[in-house]
């Protein structure tokens, strides 16, 4: 379906405001790192505080999702944006205090992070199915993947530019974007209630714990790939005497992924979602393996360019499968649980890759990416075998889950999809 179809179902301000609304998510980690290092002079402390922030984001995300399912996206989204503004302001204030105060404030900024990306995907799901336009959803999810990747290119670049002015400037700018874009977007465009929580059968429907755990783990694996590449390009750039090139190399990953995400909208519908998941897991492994050929077969920029186009298709398949797995009244919490895997995986990937980089240089860090991608492929193939075409673990179509006394978290459907 054409992207023009999306313009016909939302207001003209939805897209630019929605793009700006998710910028703080991409800006906050680097802004926090720069701010705290400039105040304390310690990369170790700044890194620990940043790790706490990432973990808090992963923990807070499902809480925001659960509250949104219960009280509506508008109330919860607006409240989260306000709380995040306050938390970021407290972080600035804490720089005049001691390290424990800064650590707590950094954790609060992660805990209150507005979950714009996950909640917008739930909004698209609701819009597509209530208006009888299910074909709209793949295009919307492709756009959302491209929007996410775009912000992860623009956000860190903006932080880098603002740092030239002052190490405080990126945090101030993050607060400004939260107040000027994230809050208005939640208030204007979020629906009061997206989930169908008042349906009589809603209380009987549960989250499919087993399949959702698989999606969470799959997202954590791609997060670990990101963490490994971040560490690898930093080690590579430093080793070549051009540390500033690290940001450009990592931005290349986001640009290629965004373009691939846009292209996913034109995949044929007969290409089933379960097959996309396995196929894109395989292409992810192939792309990440090129990073090990750096210098021997291709240059690192060329390897990253090719590897980048394998990222968004894999992630889109995870979002689409999670959207199909979750009961409508718990779609927000399911999507935020999925997204929580990203920062946790990134933190773990950075830690492992960092240790390997200390011992073996950039190639030590890069090896984490294909190894992790190989695990992702094994997981995808394993789930495909377990599912055996029933659609309980890897549904091809959207369905209201019919859970009948399931205690293992696997949804029972009246008809296979």
Cα–Cα distance measured from residue 9 to residue 140, given in angstroms and rounded to the nearest whole number: 11
pLDDT tens-digit readout, 266-312: 888 888 888 899 999 999 999 999 998 865 557 888 899 999 999 99
More confident call, 199 vs 405: 199
The DSSP result for 201-249, as a single string, is TGGG----HHHHHHHHHHHHHHHHHHHHHHHHHHHHHHHTT-TTHHHHH
Q: Is the pLDDT of residue 348 over 70?
A: yes
Question: Among 236-245, 262-271, 314-323, where is mean pLDDT lowest?
Answer: 236-245
Cα–Cα distance measured from residue 218 to residue 391, given in angstroms and rounded to the nearest whole number: 18
pLDDT value at residue 416 = 26
Which of 392, 319, 385 has its CA nearest to residue 149? 319
Cα–Cα distance measured from residue 61 to residue 332, given in angstroms and rounded to the nearest whole number: 10
Q: How many other CB atoms are found less than 10 A from the CB of residue 255? A: 17
pLDDT value at residue 367 = 93
Cα–Cα distance measured from residue 274 to residue 383, given in angstroms and rounded to the nearest whole number: 9
Superfamily of domain 207-394: MFS general substrate transporter like domains (1.20.1250.20)
The DSSP result for 107-131, as a single string, is HHHHHT---HHHHHHHHHHHHHHHT
pLDDT value at residue 191 = 64
Residue whose tokens read 């807070």: 60
Q: Where in the chain is the domain with CATH 1.20.1250.20?
A: 13-193, 207-394
> Structure pTM?
0.80
pLDDT value at residue 387 = 81
Cα–Cα distance measured from residue 149 to residue 145, given in angstroms and rounded to the nearest whole number: 6
Q: Is the pLDDT of residue 85 over 50?
A: yes
pLDDT value at residue 214 = 93
pLDDT value at residue 48 = 81
Q: Is the alpha carbon torsion for 277, 281, 287, 288 positive or negative?
A: positive
* Residue 244's pLDDT band (cuts 50, 70, 90): low
The percent of residues in the chain predicted with pLDDT above 70, rounded, is 87
**CATH topology for 13-193?**
Growth Hormone; Chain: A; (1.20.1250)
The percent of residues in the chain predicted with pLDDT above 90, rounded, is 25
pLDDT tens-digit readout, 111-150: 999 888 888 888 888 877 777 777 778 888 888 888 888 8
Q: How many other CB atoms are found less than 10 A from the CB of residue 132? A: 8
């Amino acid at each position: 379906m054409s992207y023009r179809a999306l313009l016909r179902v939302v207001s003209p301000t939805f897209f630019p405001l929605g793009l700006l609304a998710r910028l703080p998510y991409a800006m906050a980690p680097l802004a926090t790192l720069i701010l705290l290092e400039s105040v304390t002079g310690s990369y170790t402390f700044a890194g620990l505080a940043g790790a706490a922030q990432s973990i808090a984001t992963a923990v807070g995300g499902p809480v925001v999702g659960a509250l949104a399912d219960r009280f509506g996206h508008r109330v919860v989204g607006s409240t989260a944006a306000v709380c995040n503004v306050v938390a970021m302001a407290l972080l600035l204030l804490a720089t005049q205090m001691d390290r424990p105060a800064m650590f707590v404030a950094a954790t609060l900024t992660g805990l209150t992070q507005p979950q714009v990306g996950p909640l917008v995907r739930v909004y698209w799901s609701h819009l597509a199915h209530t208006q009888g336009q299910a074909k709209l959803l793949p295009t919307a999810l492709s756009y959302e993947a491209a929007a996410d990747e775009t912000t992860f290119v623009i956000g860190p670049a903006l932080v880098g530019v603002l740092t030239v002015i002052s190490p405080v400037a990126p945090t101030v700018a993050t607060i400004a974007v939260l107040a000027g874009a994230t809050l208005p977007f939640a208030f204007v465009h979020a629906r009061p209630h997206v989930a169908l929580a008042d349906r009589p059968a809603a209380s009987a429907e549960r989250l499919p714990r087993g399949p959702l755990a698989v999606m969470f783990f799959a997202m954590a694996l791609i997060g670990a790939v990101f963490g490994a590449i971040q560490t690898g390009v930093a080690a590579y750039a430093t080793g070549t005497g051009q540390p500033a090139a690290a940001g450009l190399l990592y931005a290349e990953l986001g640009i290629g992924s965004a373009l691939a995400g846009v292209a996913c909208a034109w995949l044929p519908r007969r290409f089933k979602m379960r097959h996309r998941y396995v196929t894109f897991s395989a292409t992810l492994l192939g792309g990440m393996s090129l990073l090990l050929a750096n210098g021997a077969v291709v240059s690192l920029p060329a390897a990253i360019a090719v590897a980048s186009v394998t990222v968004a298709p894999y992630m889109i398949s995870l979002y689409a499968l999670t959207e199909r797995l979750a009961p409508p009244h718990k779609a927000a919490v399911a999507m935020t649980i999925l997204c929580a895997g990203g920062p946790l995986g990134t933190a773990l990937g950075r830690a492992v890759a960092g240790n390997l980089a200390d011992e073996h240089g950039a190639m030590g860090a890069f090896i984490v990416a294909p190894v992790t991608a190989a695990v992702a492929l094994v997981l995808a193939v394993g789930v495909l075998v377990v599912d055996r075409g029933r659609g309980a673990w890897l549904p091809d179509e959207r369905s209201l889950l019919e859970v009948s006394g399931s205690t293992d978290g696997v949804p029972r459907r009246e008809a296979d999809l």
